[in-house]
Amino acid sequence: MAGETVLVVGGAGYIGSHTCLDLANKGYTPVVFDNFSNGHREFVKWGPAEEGDIRDRARLDEVLAKHKPAAILHFAALIEVGESVKDPVSFYENNVIGTLTLLSAAQAAGINAFVFSSTCATYGLPQSVPLDETHRQVPINPYGRTKYIVEQALADYDQYRSLRSVVLRYFNAAGADFEGRIGEWHQPETHAIPLAIDAALGRRQGFKVFGSDYETRDGTCVRDYIHVLDLADAHVRAVEYLLKGGDSVALNLGTGTGTTVKELLGAIEDVSNRPFPVEYIGRREGDSHTLVANNDKARDVLGWVPQYDLCEIIRSAWDWHAKTNQH
């Protein structure tokens, strides 16, 4: 499969750019399609860039005709849960209408291999832990609902239009390229690891923990942190799986190991050797106390096994945030 061109929609963003790195390392040509509203031009390092919006059908047709990709990787979504509650319209316009426009363009171009960046937020509040792919999907916010709607559309496209897809439901993406070329860079930042690292670096006044009275081993929420390079590897494996004729499938991407917020903060303090103030405040509406993946299906279907542990995640993130001046 090496040597093929792959269109990476949203490829200038966090997970998209690390996937471009992995694609290039494995002999593919990644073409980034991005409107750069959240992505970074500096992160386009391993192939050409095409500026455009997924809601712009004419621009999509132009780029697909020019590069003739064998597959599409779709990362171009609005992702901030709190913003989805404040402005659901933007999330439906981009995440749903934009994706349907992209799918129409892909069909017209004869592309039937599509990898979709989804989320464990489609499951909603967990009924059992760890979560496997058969867990009911009842999302509790507009962000999760927009991803779930696309998942349902992809199932219909598979059944009625022969467009095969791999849906990848992420848990908590974290970490950075170990060589420090790219890393996590959101504006504003809302993810726990970069926020805590910024507190350790003195860039923030401290770190706030939402809830300390959950029914977990130390009262704080439990999350499954997965290294962004492990996510990238899963995406490239998904492309290869589809190009070899694999059937449509939905897969969880997580380590299967849960880490509490207190444990996470302790690990960041150990790596940085810099204590920082922590404030415990009330629970945040909509937070699940525990989100941990069962990743057996991804192993069985793609041969994917996460390579990096929490210490490596934090070390790579620390090296990236400590050296970057993009704050």
Residue 219's CB: how many other CB atoms inside 10 A?
16
DSSP track, 298-312: HHHHH-------HHH
Going by C-alpha positions, the residue among 132, 111, 136, 112 that lies closest to residue 123 is 136
Which residue among the candidates 14, 28, 123, 143 is catalytic per the annotation? Answer: 143
CA-CA-CA-CA torsion sign (122, 127, 132, 135)? negative
- Strand, coil or helix: 16: helix
Which alpha helices (DSSP H) does the chain contain, by range?
14-25, 57-67, 81-86, 88-91, 99-108, 142-161, 192-200, 228-243, 261-272, 296-302, 310-323
State how far the Cα of 312 lies from the Cα of 306, in Å rounded to an integer: 12
Residue 231's CB: how many other CB atoms inside 10 A?
25
CA-CA-CA-CA torsion sign (18, 327, 310, 259)? negative
As given in the structure block, the two tokens for residue 78 are 């609005």
Please give the C-alpha separations between residue 110 and each of 69, 104, 117, 161, 163, in angstroms, as whole numbers: 10, 10, 21, 11, 9
State how far the Cα of 307 lies from the Cα of 75, in Å rounded to an integer: 22
Is 143 considered catalytic here? yes
Residues noted as catalytic:
143
